[in-house]
Structure 1
Amino acid sequence: MTITLAEEIMLLSLDDESGSAKQRQAAGWAVAGGILLELVLAERVSVVGKYLELVDTMPTGERLLDNRTALIEAWMRGRSKRRVTEWLTKDQPKAVRAALESLCERGVVVEERRRALGLFPMRRYPEADGTVEGELRERLRAVVLDGADPDMRTAGLIALIHSAKLHALAFPDSPREQVARRMAEVAAGQWATESIRAAIRDMQAAVAAVTVVTVLAAGT
């Protein structure tokens, strides 16, 4: 089963049994970035420097992406470009929910609703089909730990994980320094055209910027 970059990041963040999200804030930024990166790869938007431009509104056939194209078009308000970080900040909470709904529709996770202390509504998303995450982790392991050459989408996924500092979600039992070093190499590697690499570098910078702001705010 092929799932989007955003869904892959969301899946990595969910505890398989409890269905609760780990590193939810940072993962949320990477999820929003994953949707945007998919739109870059599909040539629906462009990311150059600090700015986002909408270049094509033709449907991709993937509802998660097409809904975001429509939202970006409305958000642009006729402007030719707007800041990437502004879009990520606006979309992050909604992107997480959209990715979870898509995983539920695919049958990868199931939604469970309950009340904490009998009062506060909570939602959890335990895994229903472990093969999808298993294949995902094997793909990441082959590139990051075994040194295999990545395809474009896997390299983009690794770049987003690295920029949001989610190394422990992808490789909880591996030395972080080793994992981070290899992820940095992949993100900067010769696996795509220069225009795509540049877009991903700019996306990394945007995701890293909003992640740092969130971490600092939480600390205060």
Structure 2
Amino acid sequence: MAVTLAEEIMLLSLDDESGAAKERQSAAWAVAGGILLDLVLAGRVSVDDGRLRVTDATPTEVPLLDERLGQLDAWCAKKNRAPKVTEWLTKDHTKAVRATTVSLCERGLVREEQRRVLGLFPVTRYPEADGTVERDLRARLRTALHEGPTHHARTTGLLALIHGAKLHHLAFPDVPRKEVASRLEEITAGQWAAEGVRRAIRDMQAAMLVVTAATVVTVTS
């Protein structure tokens, strides 16, 4: 079973040794966005003009995606009109992260460890158990960064999510952030996928900008 976009983003976020999540809040928005994008690519969800619609509730046979698809379908059914992407990301990002880390554990890519901070406060960490998937992922992203858009919509879509959530340092820690941002802007603006998919990506990027900006204001105020 292929690793999902959400799982790839979580692998980039989790520190290999300590298992702590880096850039936790922004990564959470991107994880939820990754699930949405996989559902768009699978023809189950459409995103247009910043709003979500479930177009086909048939299971994808990927447990992580099908769980979120069921939740999304039930939630959308209660709305009078198609809900905004920002509403779903705000509602689901914490649950999406939890479901994604559980999936990574079940795949044997990370392991769950219970620790105590200062010997007192219990925390859960997810250090690396099998690094082959993340190494392949990082190699694929580096190739795309240098060579530009590929015929793989998922890879370019992943770069678009990373760019939208400003997770440049997680994916490319050895490349100056400004250089990465400029390159990803160029790559994701190309004709790399069907117009519906690219439109969905643009809407999700805009939604992530809104929710991450709101998070920064909340934290600093």
Q: Is the TM value for this pair above 0.5? A: yes
**Residue number in structure 1 paired with 2:219:** 218
Q: Is the 8 A contact 2:149 2:190 kept in 1?
A: no
Identity of aligned residues (%): 62
State the alpha-carbon separation in 2 of the partners of residues 162 and 55 from structure 1: 27
**Residue number in structure 1 paired with 2:159:** 158
Q: Is the 8 A contact 1:12 1:169 kept in 2?
A: yes
Partner AA of 1:6 in structure 2? A
How far residue 189 of structure 1 moved from its aligned partner, in angstroms, is 1.0
**Residue number in structure 1 paired with 2:67:** 67
Partner AA of 2:77 in structure 1? R
Q: 1:121-136 residue pairs with structure 2 within 5 A? A: 121-136=122-137
State the alpha-carbon separation in 2 of the partners of residues 89 and 78 from structure 1: 17
How far residue 182 of structure 1 moved from its aligned partner, in angstroms, is 1.1
**Residue number in structure 1 paired with 2:53:** 53
Question: Are the structure 2 counterparts of residues 85 and 140 from structure 1 closer, same or farther at C-alpha, using a change threshold of 3 Å?
Answer: same
State the alpha-carbon separation in 2 of the partners of residues 146 and 134 from structure 1: 18
State the alpha-carbon separation in 2 of the partners of residues 58 and 43 from structure 1: 10
How big is each residue's C-alpha offset from its partner over 1:165-208, in whole Å with a ceiling of 9 and x where there is no partner?
A: 00000011111111111111121111111111111111111112
**Residue number in structure 1 paired with 2:199:** 198
Q: Is the 8 A contact 2:27 2:165 kept in 1?
A: yes
State the alpha-carbon separation in 2 of the partners of residues 67 and 100 from structure 1: 14
RMSD: 1.3
**Residue number in structure 2 paired with 1:13:** 13
Q: Is the 8 A contact 1:57 1:70 kept in 2?
A: yes
Q: Work out whether 1:104 is the aligned partner of 2:105.
A: yes
Secondary structure of residue in 1 paired with 2:114 = strand
Partner AA of 1:208 in structure 2? L
State the alpha-carbon separation in 1 of the partners of residues 217 and 43 from structure 2: 34
Q: Which runs of 5+ in 1 are unaligned?
A: none
State the alpha-carbon separation in 1 of the partners of residues 24 and 143 from structure 2: 26
How far residue 150 of structure 1 moved from its aligned partner, in angstroms, is 5.2
State the alpha-carbon separation in 1 of the partners of residues 146 and 10 from structure 2: 21
Moved >6 Å (runs of 4+): none
Secondary structure of residue in 1 paired with 2:174 = coil
Q: 1:171-190 residue pairs with structure 2 within 5 A? A: 171-190=172-191
How far residue 77 of structure 1 moved from its aligned partner, in angstroms, is 3.2
How far residue 83 of structure 1 moved from its aligned partner, in angstroms, is 1.0
State the alpha-carbon separation in 1 of the partners of residues 148 and 160 from structure 2: 15
